[in-house]
A = this chain, B = another copy of it.
Amino acid sequence: MKIKEGDKQDATEDANEPRGGAKPRARQRSAKTTRDNILRAAKKIFSKDGYEGARVEKISKTAKSYDSLIYYYFGSKEKLFVEVLENAYKDIFETEMALELDHDDPVGSLRKIIEFPFRYYLANPELIVLLGTENLHKGKHISKSKTANQFASPAIEILDRVLRRGVEMGHFRADVDTRNIYIATVSLGYFYVSNRYTLSAFLNTNLMADKEVDNWAHFISDLVIDSISK
């Protein structure tokens, strides 16, 4: 499974920068570009340092911009954070929507769905910091967000369709509970990544080693599938 990794590109690359111009040093005066640079830098810094640890100055410097432009475009550090958060929600759900699932192979499809969160968090661990911050603050942003809470149901619906097809085809037990399976699936992927440092220390293993990662991916698939198979 290939998961699109998060933005790793340098925040300053300006694709639409005029090439070979006479003033190669001139600052791009494009709101779009600046705003995007800040957003990208913010995602990076918030993910690395958490909300409180992230310094506005660090974000603006990373974006090769100015503190004041953060306020010009976003109004406050908190609003910037919310926008970063919403983008992250959007990304993960859109990626999940794009999973190619074979309607006639519910077991294989389920395997893909189960592994998806794990692989996604692995590739985009910044989401974990963002979600952690959000939960530390008792979800006060997500509850206000207009774009965020419309994402969960499609993801569950996809899972539901696969599960029902599996039941229909006689693979799964008739009493499967989609929502519980959904939460379990995310739990098993999230925790392994979110607590990778403490867990690695306790278990005296490097859980991020490829072998370990693959082992876990298979294990959680088997775990869930075994439990609902007839």
Residues of the B chain whose Cβ atoms lie less than 8 Å from the Cβ of A177? 219
> Which single residue of chain B is at the shortest CB-CB distance from A130?
B198
**Known A177-B219, A180-B216; contact A132-B139, beta-carbon cutoff 8 A:** no
State the CA gap A201–B201 with chains docked (Å): 32
In the complex, which of the residues B139, B180, B228 contacts A201, with contact meaning CB atoms closer than 8 Å?
B139
Chain B proximity of A135: nearest CB distance (Å): 5
The answer to the question of A22 belonging to the interface, with a C-beta cut-off of 8 Å to chain B, is no
State the CA gap A143–B188 with chains docked (Å): 24
Residues of the B chain whose Cβ atoms lie less than 8 Å from the Cβ of A28? none
Per-residue B-contact encoding for A209-230, CB less than 8 Å = 1, 0 else: 0000001100110111011100
Q: Is the CB of A204 within 8 A of B149?
A: yes
Q: Is the CB of A195 within 8 A of B149?
A: no
> Which single residue of chain B is at the shortest CB-CB distance from A144?
B201
The answer to the question of A101 belonging to the interface, with a C-beta cut-off of 8 Å to chain B, is no
Count of identical protomers in the assembly: 4
State the CA gap A87–B153 with chains docked (Å): 40
The answer to the question of A167 belonging to the interface, with a C-beta cut-off of 8 Å to chain B, is no
**Known A135-B198, A201-B149; contact A184-B188, beta-carbon cutoff 8 A:** yes
Per-residue B-contact encoding for A114-151, CB less than 8 Å = 1, 0 else: 00000000000000010110111011001100001101
Q: Is the CB of A198 within 8 A of B131?
A: yes
Q: Is the CB of B183 within 8 A of A199?
A: yes
The answer to the question of A20 belonging to the interface, with a C-beta cut-off of 8 Å to chain B, is no
Residues of the B chain whose Cβ atoms lie less than 8 Å from the Cβ of A151? 202
**Known A188-B187, A223-B184; contact A201-B143, beta-carbon cutoff 8 A:** yes
The answer to the question of A50 belonging to the interface, with a C-beta cut-off of 8 Å to chain B, is yes
In the complex, which of the residues B179, B200, B226 contacts A226, with contact meaning CB atoms closer than 8 Å?
B226
Q: Is the CB of A134 within 8 A of B227?
A: no
Interface residues of A in 146-201 (CB under 8 A from B): 148-149, 151-152, 156, 177, 179-180, 183-184, 186-188, 190-192, 194-201
Known A139-B201, A183-B192; further 11 A-B contacts with Cβ < 8 A: A50-B136, A132-B194, A138-B197, A139-B200, A148-B201, A156-B203, A180-B223, A184-B220, A187-B187, A190-B191, A226-B226
